[in-house]
Amino acid sequence: MEIRLENVNKKLGDFHLKNLNLKVGDGEYFVLLGPSGSGKTKTIELIAGLIKADSGLITGIDKSKIGLIYQDYMLFPHMNVYENISYGIRFFGFGKKEIKEKVHLIAEEFGISHLLNKRIGILSGGEKQRVAIARATIISPDVYIFDEPTSALDRSLKEKTRALFREFHRKTGKTFIHVTHDFEEAISLADRMGIIFNGEIVQTGTPDEIFGSPSSKSVADFLGFKNVIKGSVKDGLFNSNGVCFFVNGEDSELSYIAIRADEILLSEKRFKSSARNNFHGTVKEIVKRSSGVEVTVDIGLPVIAEITRKSFEDMKVSEGVKLWVTFKVSSLKLFPHKVMKGR
């Protein structure tokens, strides 16, 4: 069944969740992405029924069939692993033998059978996380809600945990709602996702739709677009301080364009292609990243391109070198100026 939020509002001191409208499909993996303090956790607490909306409607969810996993896992420190996992189903009228069978099956599924008699305090972060998921799973929820579940894990364990979530979602076919501020996590897990700023959901779509076409400057900035440029549009040309780009869009006195750094091509000679935006510029800065090399080129304004280490070495890129900068009209994401409060 589809979960729906319709014009949901909640005042929390000085903070306000405003006109939340959201649909999460049955069996969908939905990720809510936003910066700290944007209202992500409060939104899922509304969905889970932990707090009550001031107005609006939330439908499609049985609050007794939710598995909620917080970022700090919320395990009971005075109980061992077995007692933590079995806690939820003790209230469902099962006998001791049936509870024991269910706990052992769940523990085996998550690879924590050897921990059942261990105290919570001696577990690693990854072990605590598996215990928390097992505790949520044993009640057979219809919806799983994860609140920043990998924020306390190191990079290697984060990747393993994401793989666990993907496989778990595939096996269960249940609805997953997952809150994070991690772009990589959102891209790797989400069927669809939403962006939330300052208590407002400002864009929803697939990861490709959102990362490919941010709806505003605020979204583009948040998603890490390296090139977000202010200017005006007239007759198919975007003008920023005299530097003009070919664009597809309506005339506007104030607009922004965003260009992904990995969609900008650098070359020693003018690149022969159908790309209409070509500029000759000077390399001003070089920053090496794990994924490649970021090269800032001054074409009358600074633009940042991300290239591979091999391309960087083959072109012998260094500060002061002249290079051609090329990008397609379709690489430019054009949006009108919007004032986003709190951003």
Residues 56-81 have pLDDT tens digits of 999 999 988 999 998 888 899 999 99
In the Cβ-directed half-sphere of 326, how many Cα atoms lie within 13 Å?
14
In this model, does residue 118 exceed pLDDT 80? yes
pLDDT, tens only, 196-247? 999 999 999 999 999 988 999 999 999 989 999 999 999 999 999 999 999 9
E-state strands within 110-205: 143-147, 175-180, 192-197, 200-205
pTM of the model: 0.85
For domain 3-212, give the CATH superfamily: P-loop containing nucleotide triphosphate hydrolases (3.40.50.300)
Q: Which CATH class is domain 217-336?
A: mainly beta
Q: In sequence order, which ranges of 140-216 are alpha helices (DSSP H)? A: 155-172, 183-189, 207-212
From the list 111, 166, 160, the residue with the least C-alpha distance to 134 is 111
Mean pLDDT, to the nearest integer, of 253-275?
A: 92
pLDDT for 341 equals 44
User: Model confidence at 291, in pLDDT bands (50, 70, 90)?
Assistant: confident
Q: Using an 8 Å Cβ cutoff, are 4 and 60 in contact?
A: yes
Q: Where in the chain is the domain with CATH 2.40.50.100?
A: 217-336
pLDDT for 339 equals 44
Q: Where in the chain is the domain with CATH 3.40.50.300?
A: 3-212
First to last CA, the chain: 34
pLDDT, tens only, 294-330? 999 999 999 999 999 999 999 999 999 999 999 999 9
